[in-house]
C-alpha cells in the first residue's frame, strides 16, 4: 500500500533528525575522549558510526523510492533531493567525529601540552551549527538557516588560532610536536563539521527559495 | 520543446566530464605551484574554480529538471541522482586543489626542506583515480569503478608516509616546522581528492548494480 506522500516525508524528516542526534552525540563523545581522556566514550562512537552508516543507506533508498513512486513536483522534489544531500553531509560529519576519536585515542596517555580552551569552544559552535542546520532543514526555516551560515567564519577563525598557537608551541617544545600536529588536525576536523552544517543550511535555503546560494553566501554575509 | 531523455542524459554526462577535466587541470596546476614554484598557474586555478562552481549549480538544476519533466524510473533515476552526487564530489575535489594552492602560495619563496618525491606520486595516483572514476561513471563501467576503489589504500599509505617523514624532519629542524605542517596538510588534501574519486566510483557501481556498496567496499577489497 502506498502511503500518502506527506507521511513519507515526515518519516524521512524523522530519520534525518535521528541521524543528526547520533552525529551530535558522536562529536560530544569525541571531544570527551580528547579533553577529558574519557576512554569509555570510544565504543559509543564506534556503535553510532555503524548506525549512521545504516541510516545513510536507508535514507538514500527512501529518497529514490519516494521520487519513483510519487513523482513529486517542484517543492517536494527539491525537498527530497535536499534530504539526500543532507544525508550525505551528516554521514561525513559523523566521519569527522570518528577521525577526532582516532587522534584523541593516541593522546589518551599523554599530558596535554596546554589546557584545552579553543577546541571545546569550536566544538560547541560546530554542534550548535549542526543542530540549527537540521532544525532549519526539517522545519523549513530560512532565517535559522542563515544564522548557521554566519557562524562558519567563527569556526574558521578558531581553527586559525589553534594552528597559530600550536606552531608557536612546536617552535619551543620539541617533545610537543606530535601532539601539536594532532591538535591542528583535530581543529580541521571540527572546521569540517562546521562546513557540513553550513552545507545543510544551504540545502534548506535551496528547498525554500528554489535558488542556489552556494558560492554566493559570502556576499550575503556582508 | 522537451528533448528526448537520452539526449539530455548525454548532455549531463558531457557537463560532468567537463567539470572533471577542469578539476584535473586544477590539481595539476596546484601541484606545479608547490613543486615547481610555478606562480603563473595560480590565476588558472582561480578561474577554473569559478567555472566549476558555475557548472555545479547548472548540473544540479539539470538533474532537478530532468526528474521533474521526464519522471524517469529505476535505472535513469538512479543515474540522475548519482550524477547530482558526483557533481557534489567534483566541486569538493576542486576545492581541495584550491586549498593546496593556498598553502603552496605561502611556500613559493621558501626552499623545499626535502625534494618532493611522495607528494607528486600521490597527486598522480589521485589524478588517475579521478579520471577513471568519471570514465566509469559516464560509461557505466563497474570494473573500472572497482579499480578506483583499490587505489584508495595507496593514497592513504602515501599520506601516512608524508606525515611520518615530516614529523621526523620537525624533530631535528626547528626552522622547517611551518613548511612541514603545510606539507602534512597538503598530503591530506590529496588524500581527500582520492576519497572523492572513490565516492564517484561507488556512485557508478550504485547506478549499475542498484546496490549501495558504501561502507562495504572494505570487504570487497579483500
Q: Is the pLDDT confidence value at B73 over 90? A: no
Q: Is the pLDDT confidence value at B124 over 80? A: yes
Q: Is the pLDDT confidence value at A184 over 90? A: yes
Residue of B nearest to A65 (CA): B74
Are A153 and A126 contacting, i.e. CB atoms less than 8 angstroms apart? no
Mean per-residue pLDDT, B84-96: 97
Q: What is the DSSP letter of B110?
A: S
Q: Is the pLDDT confidence value at A215 over 90? A: no
Are B212 and A198 contacting, i.e. CB atoms less than 8 angstroms apart? no
Q: Which of A72, A3, A181, A194 is nearest to B64 (CA)?
A: A72
B183 HSE (CA, 13 A, CB side): 32
Q: Is the pLDDT confidence value at A209 over 90? A: no
Residue B90, SS3?
A: helix
State pLDDT tens for residues B177-209.
Answer: 999 999 999 999 999 999 999 999 999 999 998
Chain B positions in Cβ-Cβ contact with residue A57 (cut-off 8 Å): 212, 214-215
Tell if the CB–CB gap between B64 and A71 is shorter than 8 Å.
no
Distance to chain B for A36, nearest Cα, Å: 26
Residue B38: CB atoms within 10 A of its CB come to: 16
Chain B positions in Cβ-Cβ contact with residue A68 (cut-off 8 Å): 73-74, 77
Tell if the CB–CB gap between A177 and B188 is shorter than 8 Å.
no
Q: Is A28 exposed, middle or buried (0-12, 13-18, 19+ CB in 10 A)?
A: middle
Chain A positions in Cβ-Cβ contact with residue B57 (cut-off 8 Å): 212, 214-215
State pLDDT tens for residues A110-127.
Answer: 999 999 999 999 999 999
Of A53, A67, A181, the CB nearest to B215: A53
At B128, give phi and psi (nearest 5°). -65, -35
Q: Is the pLDDT confidence value at B3 over 80? A: no
Residue B4, SS3?
A: coil
User: How many contacts does A have with B, using Cβ atoms within 8 A?
Assistant: 74
Of B53, B67, B174, the CB nearest to A77: B67
Q: Which of B63, B170, B172, B192 to mutate to test the interface with A (most CBs of A within 10 A)?
A: B170
Tell if the CB–CB gap between B63 and A81 is shorter than 8 Å.
yes
Whole-number CA gyration radius for chain A: 19
Largest CA distance in chain A: 69
The pLDDT of residue A3 is 63
Tell me which of A171-175, B1-5, B83-87 is least confident.
B1-5
Give the separation between CA B172 and CA A70, rounded to whole angstroms.
Answer: 64
Q: Indicate whether this complex's ipTM tops 0.95.
A: no
Chain A positions in Cβ-Cβ contact with residue B212 (cut-off 8 Å): 57, 60-61
Of A81, A174, A184, the CB nearest to B84: A81
Give the separation between CA B220 and CA B148, rounded to whole angstroms.
Answer: 12
pTM of the shown model? 0.92
Are B138 and B17 contacting, i.e. CB atoms less than 8 angstroms apart? yes
Mean per-residue pLDDT, A42-63: 96
Chain A positions in Cβ-Cβ contact with residue B56 (cut-off 8 Å): 214-215
Tell if the CB–CB gap between B184 and A188 is shorter than 8 Å.
no
Are A169 and A181 contacting, i.e. CB atoms less than 8 angstroms apart? no
Residue of A nearest to B179 (CA): A167
Length of chain B: 222
Chain A positions in Cβ-Cβ contact with residue B215 (cut-off 8 Å): 53, 56-57
Distance to chain A for B166, nearest Cα, Å: 10
Give the separation between CA A121 and CA A127, rounded to whole angstroms.
Answer: 10
C-alpha cell at B13: 554526462
Are A144 and A208 contacting, i.e. CB atoms less than 8 angstroms apart? no
The pLDDT of residue B219 is 47
Tell if the CB–CB gap between A214 and B56 is shorter than 8 Å.
yes
Cα distances from A57 to residues A22, A33, A153, in angstroms, run 15, 28, 32
State pLDDT tens for residues A126-183.
Answer: 999 999 999 999 999 999 999 999 999 999 999 999 999 999 999 999 999 999 999 9
Could you give the residue ranges of the DSSP H alpha helices within chain B? 5-35, 42-70, 74-106, 118-139, 142-172, 177-209, 217-221
Amino acid at each position: 500500500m502506498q502511503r500518502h506522500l506527506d507521511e513519507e516525508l515526515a518519516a524521512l524528516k524523522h530519520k534525518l533528525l535521528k541521524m543528526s542526534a547520533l552525529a551530535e552525540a558522536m562529536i560530544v563523545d569525541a571531544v570527551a575522549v580528547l579533553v577529558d581522556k574519557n576512554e569509555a566514550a570510544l565504543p559509543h562512537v564506534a556503535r553510532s558510526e555503524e548506525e549512521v552508516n545504516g541510516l545513510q543507506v536507508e535514507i538514500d533508498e527512501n529518497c529514490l523510492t519516494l521520487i519513483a513512486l510519487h513523482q513529486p513536483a517542484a517543492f517536494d522534489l527539491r525537498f527530497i533531493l535536499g534530504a539526500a544531500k543532507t544525508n550525505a553531509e551528516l554521514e561525513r560529519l559523523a566521519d569527522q567525529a570518528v577521525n577526532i576519536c582516532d587522534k584523541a585515542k593516541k593522546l589518551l596517555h599523554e599530558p596535554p601540552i596546554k589546557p584545552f580552551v579553543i577546541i571545546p569552544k569550536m566544538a560547541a559552535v560546530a554542534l550548535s551549527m549542526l543542530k540549527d542546520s537540521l532544525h532549519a532543514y526539517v522545519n523549513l526555516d530560512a532565517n535559522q538557516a542563515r544564522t548557521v551560515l554566519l557562524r562558519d567564519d567563527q569556526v574558521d577563525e578558531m581553527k586559525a588560532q589553534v594552528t597559530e598557537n600550536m606552531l608557536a608551541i612546536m617552535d619551543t617544545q620539541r617533545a610537543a610536536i606530535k601532539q601539536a600536529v594532532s591538535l591542528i588536525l583535530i581543529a580541521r576536523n571540527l572546521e569540517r563539521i562546521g562546513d557540513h552544517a553550513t552545507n545543510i543550511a544551504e540545502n534548506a535555503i535551496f528547498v525554500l527559495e528554489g535558488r542556489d546560494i552556494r558560492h554566493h553566501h559570502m556576499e550575503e554575509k556582508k
